[in-house]
Amino acid sequence: MGLADYLAQNYLSADKSSKGKKRKRKNAEDAGLIIADDDVSGMSKSRNRDDDDEDTPMIIPGGANISKRTTTWKTFGKAAPSNNEQAAADAILADAAAETQARNAEDEDAPAVVGEDEDMDYSGPTMASGAMAGLQTAEQVTKALKRKERDEKRAMQEMGMDPTGKAQETIYRDASGRIINVAMKRAELRRQADEEERKKAEEAENRRGDVQKREKEARIKELEKAKTMSLSRYADDRQLNDEQKEQERWNDPALAFLSRGTTTKGSKGTKGRKKTYTGAFEPNRYGIKPGYRWDGVDRSIGFEKRWFEARNQQQNIKDLQYAWQMDE
């Protein structure tokens, strides 16, 4: 044992502090940045005093041995940071706040760019609508919804699907679950309809006689001639006059006694036609005309005449009864 140690042990005594020796806490690993407020009681304390710091080592003059006291207090949780750590944390937060303010100022002064927020990465829980969970502004929610819509459209385009859904074809199935090809069905139905129309046209053509076929061919030739015909036709047009003369009308009063020969075309004329009586005669129930050699004498018993009279009388009675009912 040296002389200095001997003198310090036997003759020197350390000054007792006004406060008891504080228990030193074990250093715990900091899992993150912890900001603790020392001003618990509401009264500010000076952080520059070294004697109030729990982790600051105590200086004992002379190196005298001081008895260590044990305590039964247990510490739970992580220790609060020291003044130096607190100051460093405050400095870091101040720098981050200054950088954020400077960045916001630059963003406000910079020109607006369309689609600038497309590639922004958001970390944290999101809802089914695409918006972030938690308190947000209306602008943030709108951007999140637009971002989700763009992502869905991009994914559908990568899969080869139409985002609008217009190009998607409806799948039809029968009772057994087999897929029905609508395009083939429509083509088959169209083919059947064309075939039916063709058959109907053939049947109508076959039912026609030779005269109708010749008339159809003549109309086609007339239409071909009409392509080169002038639009203005006057009263002295010979072709137009011949066509009008050859037409037979059912209400023509001179048609019964006119006897024309064969026309220039030979298609319409009285030659070769069956001869009929051209004078007046009493009507009959069947509309049968007398022979062309009839002399005009009625040799019947008069039944047809009385039949028409009785019929006309019955009709007159019905008309009178109806008129009397309306008068009442």
Is the pLDDT at 268 greater than 60? The verdict is no
* Residue 55 · residue 23 · CB < 8 Å: no
More confident site: 254 or 290: 290
Q: Is 266 left (phi over 0), alpha (psi -120 to 50) or beta?
A: left
Phi, psi (deg, nearest 5) at residue 294: -65, 140
Which SS3 state, helix, strand or coil, does residue 11 take? coil
Q: What is the mean pLDDT of the chain?
A: 74
> Rounded to an integer, what distance in angstroms lies between the CA atom of residue 304 and that of residue 289?
14
In angstroms, rounded to a whole number, what is the distance separating the alpha carbons of residues 129 and 297?
A: 106
Average pLDDT over residues 99-105: 81
Residue partners of 5: CB distance under 8 A and separation at least 6: none
Torsion on CA atoms 29, 35, 38, 43, rounded to nearest 10: 180
Question: Which tens digit of pLDDT belongs to each residue from 235-253?
Answer: 888 888 888 888 888 888 8
Convert 177-216 to b/e letters by CB count within 10 Å (16 or more is b).
eeeeeeeeeeeeeeeeeeeeeeeeeeeeeeeeeeeeeeee
Among 59-68, 71-80, 122-131, 245-254, which is the least confidently predicted range? 59-68
Q: Is the pLDDT of residue 36 over 70?
A: no
- Nearest CA to 118 among 139, 154, 147, 145? 147
Arithmetic mean of pLDDT, 115-144: 71
Q: What is the pLDDT of residue 170?
A: 78
Angle at 32 between CA 29 and CA 36, to 5 degrees: 95
- Report the alpha-carbon angle 42-46-51, nearest 5: 120
Rounded mean pLDDT, 115-123? 51
Convert the pLDDT of each residue in 289-326 to its tens digit: 899 899 989 899 999 999 999 999 999 999 999 988 87
CA separation (Å) from 113 to 110, 145, 149? 9, 19, 19
| 303: Cα separation from own chain's centroid | 80
pLDDT at 127: 78
Phi and psi, residue 143, nearest 5°? -65, -40
Q: Which of 40-44, 225-229, 239-243, 313-317 shows the highest mean pLDDT?
A: 313-317
- Residue 85 burial (CB count, 10 A): 16
pLDDT band, residue 212 (cuts 50/70/90): confident
- Euclidean distance between CA atoms 148 and 201, whole angstroms: 61
Q: What is the pLDDT of residue 235?
A: 86
pLDDT value of residue 50? 47
CA distance between the termini of the chain:
160
| pLDDT band at residue 222 using 50, 70 and 90 as cut-offs | confident
Q: Is residue 51 within 8 Å of 80, Cβ to Cβ?
A: no
Look up the pTM and report it.
0.23
Q: Where are the domains of the chain?
A: 177-220
Between 66 and 164, name the one with better pLDDT.
Answer: 164
For 137-187, what is each residue's pLDDT tens digit? Answer: 888 888 888 888 888 888 877 777 666 666 567 788 888 888 888 888 889
Instruction: Judge whether residue 44 has pLDDT over 70.
Output: no
CA distances from 19 to 58, 67, 291 (A): 12, 15, 160
Task: Identify the pLDDT of residue 115.
Answer: 47
Please say if the pLDDT value at position 193 is more than 60: yes
Say which residues have a Cβ less than 8 Å from residue 285's Cβ, sequence separation at least 6: 304, 307
Q: How is residue 201 written in tokens? A: 């046209």
